[in-house]
Structure 1
């Protein structure tokens, strides 16, 4: 369920970009991000860097499209969103608080969070997501600079990158558990 909530704003944004304006898509995605933050707060969880950053990203870009450049292409809007999400991911790594860590700490006990392999797994999963964001950017750049490509190719790249990262987030903790022995229950994100 956690991955669904994390990806809901992005999936909604991508779907809405197919059927409506960039402005509506961006503000709807920002509203969904706020709803996810509200769910976290209601459950007594922390406000996540990724969620808060995406509220700012979607709202800021939506305001830009609404007030400054309403003719900004859909490809440019998607590219800007992907660059923004990549920036959030890279910033979390630079400040040594990978964005995946906030989600993981809410799923594990304090003992597990102190294990040396825990931090390593968090960094590896965060880098997998960062790689997915880079691939999504590459797909958008191809759509902008190679106009002869079929429309679905950009979507296919984005879906493949996002789904691969989501699968890796679930698979990697299981792999580490099999390789290094079973840590306590729910030791790594994606194991429950």
Structure 2
């Protein structure tokens, strides 16, 4: 649930970008990101790198567009957001707190949190999200060179990549548990 809530600002941004200016879209996304952080705090959860990075990214974009009066193309703004997500994810990896780890810690028991495989799995999942964001960036850049391509094509690619990363985030921990259970079942019982 928490990872879905962290994506709400991106949904708001994408929807509004189809209807209004980049300044309005980014400012609204920043406001939704702040509300998501407040919601987390009220529920007793921690403030997360990805959430703070999202507020900073959309807040800076909204402020820049509002103060300068500059308007970028929707494609240019989406490229900036893709770069922002990549920077946030790489920052979380650089400080050795993969952003998925902060969400995962709040959804598992203490015994699971202590497992080395838990940390490793979150590095893998964060790299998958980083890769998905990089592919979204590539898709958006390609749209510059294919101006006759329909808008829905770029949106479908981005939507598909995001959903693939979400699917992997849900599938991978279950896969690891299944593999661990399989290995445990194959291990012979100690002799008595």
Structure 2 residue aligned with 1:152: 152
Aligned partners of 2:80, 2:35: CA distance in 1, in Å?
Answer: 22
The Cα offsets for residues 33-64 of structure 1, whole Å up to 9 and x where unpaired, read as 00100100000111110011110100101111
Structure 2 residue aligned with 1:181: 181
Aligned partners of 1:158, 1:32: CA distance in 2, in Å?
Answer: 21
Structure 2 residue aligned with 1:25: 25
Residue 144 of structure 1 deviates from its aligned partner by 2.1
Aligned length: 182
State whether structure 2 residue 71 is matched by structure 1 residue 99: no
Aligned partners of 2:66, 2:4: CA distance in 1, in Å?
Answer: 29
Q: Within 5 Å, give how 1:113-192 maps onto structure 2.
A: 113-181=113-181
User: TM (normalized to structure 2)?
Assistant: 0.91
Structure 2 residue aligned with 1:37: 37
Aligned partners of 1:16, 1:91: CA distance in 2, in Å?
Answer: 27
Structure 2 residue aligned with 1:50: 50
Whichever of the two has the greater Rg, that structure is: 2
Question: Unpaired runs of 5+ in structure 1?
Answer: 183-192
Aligned partners of 1:39, 1:72: CA distance in 2, in Å?
Answer: 32
User: TM (normalized to structure 1)?
Assistant: 0.91
Q: CA RMSD in A?
A: 1.3
Residue 65 of structure 1 deviates from its aligned partner by 1.2
Question: Unpaired runs of 5+ in structure 2?
Answer: 183-192
Residue 106 of structure 1 deviates from its aligned partner by 1.1
